[in-house]
Amino acid sequence: MHMSYLENWLHVLNQIDDDNTYKAAWGRAIIECVNEEAYETQNNLIILYEYDIVKKMMKYYWNLYCYFNLNHYVPKKIMRRVDALKKEYYGKKQNKQMVWYDKVDSYLKQYPQKYEQLIKQFMTISNKGFAYQFLRVKRHKVDLYKLDTRRKVIIFERNQLTIIKQYAESLLNLIHYRWISVLSKHNKSPNIPKKCEASMLDKSYKCSLTKERNTLLRYYHLEGAKDFYTGDILEVADIQATGILPYRFLYECPLWNIVLTTKDNIKKYGAKHPSRQTINRLKERNLKLYDLLKDTRLQAKTELEDVINSDLLDRYYTDLVGEDYGV
């Protein structure tokens, strides 16, 4: 029982490909619910509600396809539901900047009736779609759980739950490997593995930029900090560090992308794609910064050298514009 049940999971997950990444989302959501013990025990059986599974899938799809703008073939039914989420959230917001799913979830909970309606729309797809198809591999049914479409639950035996818990990390690693493989075939943006794994987080990781700010002040702005955008001298209290390429595109904060400016100018210039002129100015800044850091042992020096020698900034900018990232 032990090995055969695990092999069934592996058999299903190894079939994840372009046309069925919903299996990655469904499988990951099940394992996440199990890890969080988001289930009930009834007559020695383990009951997982599709309601809880679907809420996690909504998070994954929003973070991957809205926040990170990672595109590939997604069933039209899913995309219609994601578009409905976007319409409901941004239809009520003046700020159109893309946000992590926790902001969407918190906001929509202020409208309980609409919030539950959106979840039920996802559940309509899952109950007779994902939940059933997840168990099918080339027309053969794989025994992983029992499906009760009337109650909208999936049912595990206790020993099956034990196996999922025991091998949860390995199963998640396989899901991520298969999902990342698909995403990497259809997208050119950097850090796709990191983005895929992060999409299950309740809150997005944010860089503090304190280290980068201090490095620029110490090595580059030796005669007083100047605003990257305007060239004006900055008061110490007004100094803000920010990235030129959007954080949700890079999903990291390397020094070669960080500049000093003010809060007002971040709002003014950061609300749109950087221009080619801005990228060229950043490249010039990086050449000067590298020259100032070349005798140090800072990791940023090596990263700067790699970016300069590989024309990485130009390539990233081309990918950014080509993939039509929003603000």
pLDDT of residue 273: 86
pLDDT interval class at 132 (50, 70, 90):
very high
Higher-pLDDT residue of 96 and 25 is 25
pLDDT interval class at 68 (50, 70, 90):
very high
pLDDT of residue 147: 95
pLDDT of residue 1: 55
Structure pTM? Answer: 0.91
Which string of DSSP letters, residue by residue, matches 208-238? --HHHHHHHHHHT-TT--B-TTT-PBPPGGG
Would you say residue 326 has pLDDT above 70? no
pLDDT of residue 129: 86
Residue-level length of the chain: 327
- For 243-301, the pLDDT digits (tens) are 999 999 999 999 999 999 999 999 888 767 899 999 999 999 999 999 999 999 999 99
Would you say residue 327 has pLDDT above 60? no
Q: What are phi and psi of 270, to 5 degrees?
A: -80, -10
Token couple for 257: 């992308």
pLDDT of residue 323: 63
Using CA atoms, how far residue 206 sits from 56, 58, 242, 248, in Å, is 21, 21, 12, 10
pLDDT of residue 128: 74
Would you say residue 187 has pLDDT above 80? yes
Average pLDDT, the chain: 92
- For 208-238, the pLDDT digits (tens) are 999 999 999 999 998 889 999 999 999 999 9
Would you say residue 174 has pLDDT above 90? yes
DSSP symbol at 255: G
pLDDT of residue 58: 94
Give the torsion through C-alpha atoms of 250, 254, 260, 261, to 10 deg.
Answer: 10
Where does 97-252 have alpha helices with state H?
Answer: 101-108, 112-125, 131-133, 158-166, 168-186, 192-198, 210-219, 247-250
Sequence-distant (6+) residues with CB within 8 A of 10 are 174
Mean pLDDT of 293-316: 94
Strand pairing partners for 157? Answer: 45
pLDDT interval class at 322 (50, 70, 90):
confident
Side-chain half-sphere exposure of 251, counting CA atoms within 13 A = 20
Element (H, E) at 73: none
pLDDT of residue 75: 77
Sequence ranges of the domains in the chain? 2-198, 210-322
Higher-pLDDT residue of 211 and 96 is 211
